[in-house]
Amino acid sequence: MLPAVVKLCCGISYPHLRSMTGLQHTALAVIGLEIIDPQRWGRIQHHRRPQAFLNFNEHTKPAPATEDELFYVQQGRCAMSKALSILEDKEGWKHEITESNGDVICSKVMPGARKVFKLEAVLEASVEELYDLLFVRVEEMHQWNPCIQQIKVLKHVGPETIVTHDISAETAGNLIGQRDFLTVRHSCKQKSAVFLGGEAIQLESFPPQAGFVRAEDGPTCIIIRALDEDSTKSRFTWLLNIDVKGWLPKSIVNQALPRIQLDFTRHLRKHLSLS
């Protein structure tokens, strides 16, 4: 029953899976094992977890047990699977921006005419450092990224899934304006890579807040891979997929979203250079 539900939730077609190659295919296989046989996955993780990642879960809580917690975990995994499928599909991508530092942004128009944006960059940080900054210590992001006013973890669901409430900052030049987000985030670790996926979630206990437009993430993901020739650097791939809501023209939104990605990597690089 559960595998059938997972297939329906993730929306991944068998022809598409057969065409997948490389690290994303491996990640989907890992996610599938987590979902279909969590006990077996736990045993494999215990015996095979690389030394480099042994300390990643020091600040997380025990594995989920309740039905509600399992729902959040499954939604996070499905979001990651769908986002990886978007990235793996090579058709339809259009070049948008190439920066002098080598950062590249491409876009693709999805069903419903919404654009998603893919940023690819090389960062001067290890996979472990970036995982720590972007997942373990996500609540501290506002300290180095002025585009973020606050990120609050509302729920810790096992070692790999969290539910967060994010508020963007009201900064000069922000074409979209201030938004808040309610997101389930899931992480998946490999020997030399980390996958961070997420998607909007609704909670009756946390309705849209007065004074904010509730935007919706996802499915979205970040892939962090160690450079083969230098483990102190990482290839950083970010699929940005946001419905900003409100009444903004698409032209304004499509102009602002890649700028958000470039601003993020600029602030991230500055923080890494100081730490």
- 95: CATH: 3.30.530.20
Q: What is the pTM of this model?
A: 0.77
Q: What pLDDT is stored for residue 27 in this prediction?
A: 52
The more confidently predicted of residues 8 and 62 is: 62
Count of C-beta atoms within a 10 Å radius of residue 166: 21
Query: Does 44 reside within a domain?
Result: no
Per-residue confidence band for 229, with pLDDT thresholds at 50, 70 and 90: confident
User: Among 4-18, 161-175, 181-195, 240-254, which stretch is predicted with the lowest mean pLDDT?
Assistant: 4-18
Per-residue confidence band for 75, with pLDDT thresholds at 50, 70 and 90: very high
Range of the domain at 124: 67-265
**Element holding 111 (H helix, E strand):** none
Q: Are 236 and 224 in contact (CB under 8 A)?
A: yes
Query: Does 210 reside within a domain?
Result: yes
The more confidently predicted of residues 248 and 99 is: 99
CA dist., res. 203 & res. 216, Å (int) = 13
List beta partners, residue 217. Answer: 242
Per-residue confidence band for 231, with pLDDT thresholds at 50, 70 and 90: confident
Residues 94-148 have pLDDT tens digits of: 999 999 999 999 999 998 888 999 999 999 999 999 999 999 999 999 999 999 9
Query: Does 133 reside within a domain?
Result: yes
Query: Does 22 reside within a domain?
Result: no
In the chain, the N- to C-terminal Cα span, in Å, equals 48
The more confidently predicted of residues 68 and 173 is: 68
Query: Domain total for the chain?
Result: 1
The more confidently predicted of residues 13 and 72 is: 72
CA dist., res. 268 & res. 133, Å (int) = 9
Query: Does 83 reside within a domain?
Result: yes
Checking if the pLDDT of 191 tops 60, the result is yes
Checking if the pLDDT of 43 tops 80, the result is no
Query: Does 59 reside within a domain?
Result: no
Query: Does 220 reside within a domain?
Result: yes
Query: Does 18 reside within a domain?
Result: no
Across the range 60-89, mean pLDDT stands at 84
Checking if the pLDDT of 3 tops 70, the result is no
Q: What pLDDT is stored for residue 5 in this prediction?
A: 34
Scored b (16 or more CB within 10 A) or e, 56-91 reads: bbeebeeebeeeebbebbbbbbbbbbbbbbbbbeee
Q: What pLDDT is stored for residue 173 in this prediction?
A: 66
Beta-strand pair 179-189/213-214: parallel
Task: DSSP for 20-31, please give it.
Answer: --HHHHHHHHHH
The more confidently predicted of residues 46 and 165 is: 165
